[in-house]
Amino acid sequence: MFTPLISFAASFQIEGSTNVDGRGKSIWDDFAKQPGKTLDGRDGDVATDSYRLWKEDLDLLSSYGVKSYRFSLSWSRIIPLGGKNDPINEKGIQFYSNLIDALLARGIVPFVTLHHWDLPQALHERYGGWLNKEKIIPDFVNYSRICFERFGDRVKHWLTFNEPWCISIHGYGRGVFAPGRSSDRSRCPEGDSSTEPWIVGHSLLLSHAHAVKLYRDEFKPAQRGQIGITLNGDWAIPYDNTPANIEAAQHALDAAIGWFADPIYLGHYPEFLKTMLGERLPDFTPEEIQVVLGSSDFYGMNTYTTNLCIAGGTDELQGKVKYTFTRPDGTQLGTQAHCSWLQDYPQGFRELLNYLWTRYRTPIYVTENGFAVKDENNKPVEEALSDRERVEYFRGTTQSVLAAVVEDGAFWTISNGEADGYVTRFGVTYVDYETQKRYPKDSARFICHWFKEHLAKDEPAETPSEAIAKLKDDAQLVHAVVA
């Protein structure tokens, strides 16, 4: 059973208008303006100008036949200073309220992410943001409460965080994301990569869990929605069949996925992380793990590629595993994308779906998935629109989806798509950054055609809990929301 069709967008990556209508600064505003922090030196002041052009963007989604849209709210647009005692910005509330109403009027279901990396700058300056567990949890819960109160009568699908691994590792370990903290003093003036990522990850898990508890206790009985979290993590396969490399592949999964998924779905951190980090990995109190365990109605899966894993790495932030795309015989795993970390390997998509279902036994939303065509940003528009490599990527993904359902019996829900970047472009819509004009690519046409062929028409969507109730031992249901 399938239901189309979801697209994806993050507030800082698309909205622009960073100083309009009372929005406060997020940690990305000043960070992106620092030389060398973004690939092409651009900041988020304009982005794809969706704060102004959102109606045109929704019309474009409608023309694609999109039935669901995942987007994130800007915390600092709703509470400019971020804190529980700070004023609410009614213009920010009204913007998102209008957006939600317009989606519903077009027959598009809103999937709302509360936080996609853009912590209010004021909270970072006030007490260190995610580094301060005692203060950040009540502030995030208060922000969540406002969103549930103002939008929950119409929003029935919530995500607390998008990719807490990226916040923790890239923001506080490598220093390449805001707020730019790392032990590497050539890159960052402040930070400790040996401790801060794990502190931040712990704060994110607890903030997520307490926001979910709030929703379930006070809002879900009347609003009847669902709430969860989106985690990033790519499939990992051993470089060869040696025991050390087989173990390394599991360590890679533990460090990227298990770090957050194991506490939520199994009730503890992975043993590998405990061994590797020792006392640097924060402990859960009995009261904390009681709140964390089971704090997601589904698994939100962001995935792009597959890595070959080699033992013997020294980087804790990568689980002490070395990654490569080059097989022992010298061949490449798949087609190389514009970004160095991504190759097309659809078999890995299927294997990851099955791994997550087997390990966590919970419905899966594939909340991000996409491909950046090599040098697409440097091509004339007409040439960029013929994105054959992206079409092949999605062709492989969709074939893997069908195989996972028909042959493997996995139970999953997919929302698949990615917002356009600047130099590195992922989206199925080309945005001319000078004119802000939108152009559908061949991949948009492929996706629309595929889902028209494979999806049931006019069939109401089910929540994962409703679908689970219908599961039989040999009859797994599939509910897909895909972009």
Q: What is the pLDDT of residues 406-459, one digit of tens each?
A: 565 544 444 433 323 355 666 777 777 677 777 778 777 777 777 677 664 444
Res 186: pLDDT? 92
Q: What is the pLDDT of residues 172-227, one digit of tens each?
A: 999 999 999 999 999 999 999 999 999 999 999 999 999 999 999 999 999 999 99
* Strand partners of residue 307: 236
Res 8: pLDDT? 62
How far CA 305 is from CA of 191, 300, 318, in Å, comes to: 29, 16, 15
- Please provide the average confidence, as pLDDT, over all residues in the chain: 86
How far CA 107 is from CA of 17, 35, 69, 183, 450, in Å, comes to: 27, 42, 10, 48, 20
Res 39: pLDDT? 63
Q: Where is mean pLDDT largest: 38-42, 205-209, 363-367, 467-471?
A: 205-209
Structure tokens at 54: 């959102």
- Find all residues with CB under 8 Å of 98, minimum gap 6, and list them: none
Q: What is the pLDDT of residues 42-59, one digit of tens each?
A: 666 777 788 888 889 898
Name which residue leads in pLDDT, 462 or 138.
Answer: 138
* Strand partners of residue 326: 332
CA distance 304 to 344: 8
Q: What is the pLDDT of residues 106-138, one digit of tens each?
A: 999 999 999 999 999 999 999 999 999 999 999
Res 4: pLDDT? 33
> Which range, of 79-93, 203-217, 357-371, averages the lowest pLDDT?
357-371
Residue 481 has pLDDT above 90, yes or no: no
CA distance 228 to 299: 7
Q: Running DSSP on this structure, what letter comes out for residue 441?
A: -
Res 110: pLDDT? 94
Which sequence positions are flagged as catalytic? 368
Name which residue leads in pLDDT, 329 or 432.
Answer: 329
Q: Where is mean pLDDT largest: 248-262, 359-373, 382-396?
A: 248-262
472 — pLDDT class (breaks 50, 70, 90): very low
Does the global pTM surpass 0.85? yes
Q: How far from the centroid of its chain's Cα atoms is residue 53's Cα?
A: 23
Tell me if 477 sits within 8 A of 471, measured CB to CB. Answer: yes
Sequence-ordered strand ranges (E) for 422-474: 429-431, 438-440
Which ranges of 157-305 would DSSP assign to H, the alpha helix? Answer: 164-172, 196-214, 220-223, 243-253, 259-261, 271-277, 286-292
- Find all residues with CB under 8 Å of 106, minimum gap 6, and list them: 58, 59, 61, 62
384 — pLDDT class (breaks 50, 70, 90): confident
Res 16: pLDDT? 79
CA distance 231 to 323: 20
% residues pLDDT > 70 (the chain): 86
CA distance 187 to 67: 43
CA distance 171 to 189: 13
- The top-level CATH class assigned to 6-470 is alpha beta
Delimit the domains of the chain by residue range. Answer: 6-470
Q: Where is mean pLDDT largest: 16-25, 218-227, 355-364?
A: 218-227
CA distance 424 to 62: 25
Tell me if 240 sits within 8 A of 169, measured CB to CB. Answer: no
Name which residue leads in pLDDT, 303 or 418.
Answer: 303
What 101-105 contacts at long range (C-beta under 8 Å, 24+ apart), as own/partner pairs, is: 101/154, 102/54, 102/55, 102/58, 103/58, 103/69, 104/154
> Which range, of 91-95, 114-118, 358-362, 378-382, averages the lowest pLDDT?
378-382
> Which range, of 1-15, 404-418, 457-471, averages the lowest pLDDT?
457-471
Res 265: pLDDT? 98
Tell me if 88 sits within 8 A of 79, measured CB to CB. Answer: yes
* Strand partners of residue 72: 113
Res 143: pLDDT? 98
Res 463: pLDDT? 46
Residue 479 has pLDDT above 80, yes or no: no
Q: Greatest CA span in the chain, whole angstroms?
A: 61
Res 408: pLDDT? 59
Structure tokens at 384: 């960029």
Q: Running DSSP on this structure, what letter comes out for residue 205?
A: H
